[in-house]
Structure 1
Amino acid sequence: MKTKLIPGCVLLAALSACNPSQTSNEVAESGRASNGQQRARGTAPAGSEGVAFAEYDQACRNFENVGQMKAGAMAAGWHAYEPEARSHAGQLLRFSDTNVRPRLNGAQFDNWAYRKNAGGRELVLIISQIPTGPASATECRVFDFAAVAPPTDAAIATWAGAAPSDRVAEHGLTGWEWTPGFRDGLAEQSVVYVERNSPLRQELPVVGLGITAVHRSASPN
C-alpha cells in the first residue's frame, strides 16, 4: 500500500509524484463525475465505531463546491475552530502545511477545521483544497483520534459495499483503500487506523481512526 493512504499526507494523493501511474484523462474523469455521491449506499458500522463513518457520509459530499460542503457541515452541527498547535489536529495541519505547500510552487492551498461531539465521540473534520493548477483537488477527512481499535473487515465491507483496492495491516497501521473511490466522482477513498504505539508516529502526527476522500479536478489544457 502506498504511503498516500496515511492520513497525515494531506492532499499528497493529488500530486502526480505520489501517483505517477494515473493519466491526465483519469484525473479529468474523476473531476467530471458527480460530487461524491455513493453508487450503492452501504450502512455505517454499528455502535460507537460507526459514528465517525456516519458523520463522514453526511459531511464529505459536494466536492465540486467547497462552499456548499462547508455550509453543509455547519448545518449538521460541525463548529469551525482553530486547533491548538499541540493537539492531534494542530500537528496534522502543521505537517500538511510543511510537507504539501512547498511542493505546490506557490499554488493556493487551504485547510478548514471543524469539530463535533456526536454519539459521545469527539470528532474532527478537515477539508483541504488546492483550488487551481494541475494538482487541483479537494480532500475531506473525518477523524476520531480517540478510537481504540480498527474497524473490522466485515464492518468495512458492509459500509463500502465494494472490495478495497488495497488492504494493509503492518507497523501498527490497519488500512483500506479504494482507487477510484466507491462513490461516484472520487479519485480515492481510504480508512486508516493507527495504533498509539505505532512506529509511524515518530514521523507522522497520526493516531486513531481517519476516513478520507479525494476528489480531483480536471487539469487545465
Structure 2
Amino acid sequence: MLRMGKNPNEEKSQTQPETDSYSTRSYSPYQSGETQTRPSTEAPATPKAQTESETIAREIKDGTLSGFVASGTVITGEASFKSLLRIDGRFSGRINSATGTLIVGSGGQVDANVEVSIATIHGVVNGDIVAGQRIELGRAGKLNGNIQTPSLQIEQGGIFEGSCKMVQQKAATDKSSKVERKDNVIDAGKLEAVKAEKPEDASNRKPAVAVGGAAS
C-alpha cells in the first residue's frame, strides 16, 4: 500500500526548479533600471577637463599662444612674445610685445610694467600699462597703475586706480613722420644747390689768369 501512494519527495523536486527559475528572472541585473542611470551622471564630468587641455595644446601648436603661466607658478624676469601670452599664475618683472595680446586670468597676478598691443585683465595687475590698441578690464579685474591707450573698456565691477591718458592710434604718428621726411628732402635740395655754385666760381677764375699772361 505504500507503493501505491505518491512520493512526497517527488512533489518537492517538481516545485523547487520553478521557484529557482522565477527567482533568477526577477533579479537579473540586465532588467534593473539602475545600470542605465549611472553612466549618465558620470559621463559629463570628464570631457570638460579634456577640452581645456586640448585647446591650450592646439593654441601652442598653431602658434596663437606664445606662452602660458599656469596657476601656482611664480616667474620673475622679462617676457617678450609675438602673438599671445596668458598668465594664470604670478609674474613680476617686465612684459613687452609690440603686436601681442596679454591675457591675465581670474587667478593671475602681474607685478610689472606692460607694453603690449592689447591687454585683457580678469585678475590683478600692479604696474603701468601702455597698449597700442586697447585695454579691457573685466568685472573681476583689478588694475593699479597708470595706463596709456587709445581705447579703454571697463566692465561693471572692474576696479581701476590710477591715471589714464588717451592717445590717438598709430595712423596719426605715421602722418607726422611723413611730413618730417618731406621737410628733410627740401633741406637736402638746398644743400645741393649751394654745392653746385662752388665749381662755377672756380671756372671763372681760370680764364682770368690766362688773360693776364697774354697781356705781359
The answer, yes or no, to whether TM exceeds 0.5 is no
Structure exhibiting the larger radius of gyration computed from Cα positions: 2
| Greater relative contact order (CA < 8 Å, ≥ 6 in sequence) | 1
Higher strand share: 2
Higher helix share: 2
Q: TM-score, structure 1 length as denominator? A: 0.20
Q: TM-score, structure 2 length as denominator? A: 0.20
